[in-house]
Amino acid sequence: MALGLAAKKEIVAEVSDVASRALSVAVAEYRGMEVADLTQLRVKAREQGVYLKVIRNTLAKRALSDSKFADLDGVLTGPLIYGFSLDAPGGAARLFKDYSKDSKNLKVTALSIGSGLLGPDKLDAVASLPTRDEALAKLLATFKAPVGKFVQTINEVPSKFVRVLAAVKDTK
């Protein structure tokens, strides 16, 4: 079924809006996947806060041309599914990486975090990026470590004194 001009403009506007809010985008070729597999992928994407869309590459080029993901223009060929990470920068990459373990038909072709085009060889690096909560936990642990060591050091002085008194008592 052919799309009319109004429907194409609506799709471009929707994808452009999502791209402006997205932290990263992952593009994968889905040639050979069955509808049930794509449905399962979409369910997992919704759970992880990833926006998935299958659109024509010409429409995707128009939608991404004014965004920070305009560098993807040269790699948009073939049947592609676009995953926009809205919550965590590695969300879409993590989703595609996990799903491609089960399905050999899903192949990541490009990634972008807004700082340039990344190849499929960088999938593991992008997928291992921490979520917002994980990053905050690491930051708080880093802040807490010096304070904990300081308290432990201050506490060691009276503890050492008590151990010396206990040793003197045991000798007498």
- Reported as a single tens digit per residue, the pLDDT across 35-61 is 888 888 888 888 888 888 888 888 888
Verify that 72 and 110 share a domain, yes or no.
yes
Looking up tokens 């060691």 gives: 156
Residue 86 CB neighbour total at 10 angstroms = 15
Q: Based on the structure, what is the number of domains in the chain?
A: 2
Q: Do 61 and 146 have their domain in common? A: no
Give residue-wise pLDDT tens across range 64-111. 888 888 787 777 888 888 888 887 777 888 888 888 887 788 888 888
Q: What is the pTM of this model?
A: 0.70
Residue ending a domain, choose from 94, 113, 129: 129
In this structure, the strands spanning 117-118 and 50-53 are unpaired
Same domain, 110 and 170: no
Could you list the residue range(s) of the whole structural domain that residue 87 is in?
A: 5-129
Q: Are residues 64 and 122 in the same domain?
A: yes
Q: Which CATH number characterizes residue 23's domain? A: 3.30.70.1730
pLDDT band at 126 (very low <50, low <70, confident <90, very high): low
Q: Identify the DSSP state of 83.
A: E
Q: What pLDDT shows up at residue 127?
A: 63
Residue 116: phi and psi, rounded to 5, are 135, 165
110 shares its domain with 25: yes
Phi and psi at residue 56, to the nearest 5°: -65, 145
Burial grade of 117 (CB within 10 A; 0-12, 13-18, 19 or more): middle
**Do residues 96 and 66 both lie within one domain?**
yes
Say if residue 6 is exposed, middle or buried (CB neighbours under 10 Å; 0-12, 13-18, 19+).
exposed
| Structure token digits, residue 134 | 């994980």
